[in-house]
Amino acid sequence: MTPVQKRGWLSLLLCIAVVVIDQLVKFEIKTNFALYESYRITDWFQLVFTENRGMAFGMQFVGTMFLAIFRIVAIAFFALVLVRLVRRKAPWGVVVCVAMVIAGAAGNIFDNFFYGLIFSESLPAAAPATLVPFGEGYGSFLTGRVVDMFYFPFFTWPDWVPLLGGDVFFGAIFNVADASISCGAVALALFYYQYLAETGVFRLRCHA
């Protein structure tokens, strides 16, 4: 197997693994928790079921359909970048990081595409959602809500801290896909910025 083929297969298998794990966790939460139900594992780690209509990490300032379209465009762009990296036999770490970004976006867009079609609606203090016949769910194509569940309330800022006093440090609720995107993007910025700047793989042009 050539170096290009090895990088290509690694990218594909990593994307599949992240999406499968992400969807398995979401399915378990969606079908076993009522909306906003929580389960305390430790003082600093809880499972809290929320549904995100907007951006990652619980932010909800854009519409679900708009975000789904944005994710499709982002996946297409990063897929093009990944193809360039694979063909250039880029460092393994760069390939892995870009594949993680793609996999995370794909995991969340699966929710946007299908959850509204295949699940009943999750409600607070109610029975967990169930699978329903295709097309009889709580929404339509591109309007499914992304399932979030991981909550790490590491500590609460003291009241005397300006602006942050009383707030929870890292109060975001997120999922496996969000973590994949964030870890991949942060690692690229920290460890591979120079390589990406020198090679220009993120520049849009007609040839790969």
pLDDT digits (tens, 9 = 90+) for 161-172: 887 777 887 788
Residue 36 is assigned to a structural domain of this protein: yes
Section 1-30 average pLDDT? 96
Query: With bands split at pLDDT 50, 70 and 90, how would you rate the model's confidence at 197?
Result: confident
Cα(110)–Cα(117) distance, integer angstroms: 11
pTM: 0.87
- Assess contact for 195 and 33: CB atoms under 8 A: no
Other C-beta atoms lying within 10 Å of the C-beta of residue 123:
13
Residue 47 is assigned to a structural domain of this protein: yes
Residue 18 is assigned to a structural domain of this protein: yes
Catalytic annotation, residues: 148, 178
What are φ and ψ of residue 156, in 5° steps?
A: -110, 130
Query: With bands split at pLDDT 50, 70 and 90, how would you rate the model's confidence at 205?
Result: low
Q: How many domains does the chain have?
A: 1
Residues spanned by the domain of 64: 3-156+168-199
Average pLDDT, the chain: 89
Residue 186 is assigned to a structural domain of this protein: yes
Section 94-115 average pLDDT? 94
pLDDT at 79: 94
Q: DSSP E strands: which ranges in the chain?
A: 38-42, 45-52, 146-151, 173-174
